[in-house]
Amino acid sequence: MKKYFLIVISILVVLVAILISLGRTQEIQNVRWEYRVEYFSREDFSIFIKALTVKKINDLGKEGWEYAGPLCNDGINAQLILFKRPVK
């Protein structure tokens, strides 16, 4: 009897976990994003300007922008970086 009780409880726990997971998946799918492109040059990453670049990225984070990845890189001097945040 105790064995069956533990099996039933285990099944219920798994079902609840699945339902919670499905609910969160639906929430994620309903998120709409806005995007922002920032330009960074090679000089932005030099040792003298690096602190300003880090400040710029931190300021974007404070505004809710999240790094989404590189968008474009000319291979030499510049890079366009994509940021995203949920639409409010």
pTM beyond 0.85: no
- C-alpha dist (Å) from residue 12 to 5, 18, 34: 11, 10, 39
User: Same domain for 18 and 53?
Assistant: no
Q: What are phi and psi of 47, to 5 degrees?
A: -60, -30
- Between CA 40 and CA 74 the distance in angstroms is 11
- Between CA 63 and CA 65 the distance in angstroms is 6
User: Same domain for 38 and 76?
Assistant: yes
* Domain span at 22: 1-30
User: Same domain for 18 and 43?
Assistant: no
Strands (E), the chain: 33-41, 66-73, 78-86
User: Same domain for 11 and 38?
Assistant: no
The count of structural domains within the chain is 2
**What tokens were used for 6?**
């533990």
pLDDT higher for 52 or 65?
Answer: 65
User: Same domain for 38 and 64?
Assistant: yes
Q: How confident is the model at residue 77, as a pLDDT?
A: 72
Q: How confident is the model at residue 22, as a pLDDT?
A: 65
User: Same domain for 70 and 40?
Assistant: yes
**Per-residue pLDDT tens over the stretch 16-62:** 777 777 665 555 667 889 999 988 877 766 666 777 788 888 999 99
Q: How confident is the model at residue 28, as a pLDDT?
A: 60
pLDDT higher for 35 or 11?
Answer: 35
